[in-house]
Amino acid sequence: MSNVLAYGDDALVTAQRLAQWTSRAHDLEEDIALTNIALDQLGAARMLLTYAGEADGRTEDDLAYLREDREFRNCLLVELPNGDFAFTIAKLLFLAAYQHPLYDALRDGEDERLAAIAGKTVKESAYHLDHAAQWTVRLGDGTEESHRRMQNAVDELYPYTHELFELAPSLRGTWDSTVDAVLAEATLTRPADGWKPTGGRQGVHTEHLSYLIAELQVLHRAHPGAQW
């Protein structure tokens, strides 16, 4: 169940980060798009955390609201601040290029419960990947300023992508092919391998997660056991 918990935490933290764009995107269409992607990630998180929690009698709410940051098993990539729009798009591209083949593989796995969850989420992740890819190309192959911002986002975020494959090394080739094709069309360059930050899967996070978790949990902790 440790992998299921990690997948759920990736989705939960991504949902919380993307929700911060609500009412702040550059136009109404993108505001709605990012909010819908956040809701997709939240839906995946609920199913995955519900399944993960059954092993020791905890609910999805217990896992979302009653754990400390070092108990979370999300990758470091998803907890990083949103930054500018290019930064958010690069994060989404890198994550979706991993989640889509992951859910596709889990859909055909031996765990029937996990396969059912993946069957619901794989179509949503395909949309997330397409959305991020289109914006990556639009920004990368756009103006001089949009290209600079997109390349900067790729350069800063790429080192964090290596951690994605600690749980699923077999997905690396598919991810490389997908991302390389998008970056090439966007006239962007993938950085050379170097620094490879890690630790999220073991509960060792950046300082950013503790602030994000505090925001996520504040209402539940202020009114424990409350029901609407």
Q: Tokens for 228, please give them.
A: 């609407």
Delineate the domains of the chain, giving CATH numbers in brackets.
2-222 (1.20.1260.10)
d(CA 191, CA 151): 9
What is residue 46's predicted lDDT score, i.e. its pLDDT? 98
d(CA 92, CA 72): 20
For residue 75, give the nearest of 15, 119, 9, 4 by alpha carbon.
9
pLDDT in single tens digits along all 228 residues of the chain: 689 999 999 999 999 999 999 888 888 889 899 999 999 999 999 999 999 999 999 999 999 999 999 999 999 999 999 999 999 999 999 999 999 999 999 999 999 999 999 999 999 999 999 999 999 999 999 999 999 999 999 999 999 999 999 999 999 999 999 999 999 999 999 999 999 999 999 999 999 999 999 999 999 889 887 776
What is residue 24's predicted lDDT score, i.e. its pLDDT? 82
What is residue 228's predicted lDDT score, i.e. its pLDDT? 65
For residue 206, give the nearest of 214, 198, 196 by alpha carbon.
198
d(CA 86, CA 154): 9
What is residue 26's predicted lDDT score, i.e. its pLDDT? 85
135 contacts: CB under 8 Å, gap ≥ 6: 89
Diameter over CA atoms, the chain: 54
What is residue 84's predicted lDDT score, i.e. its pLDDT? 96
d(CA 206, CA 208): 5
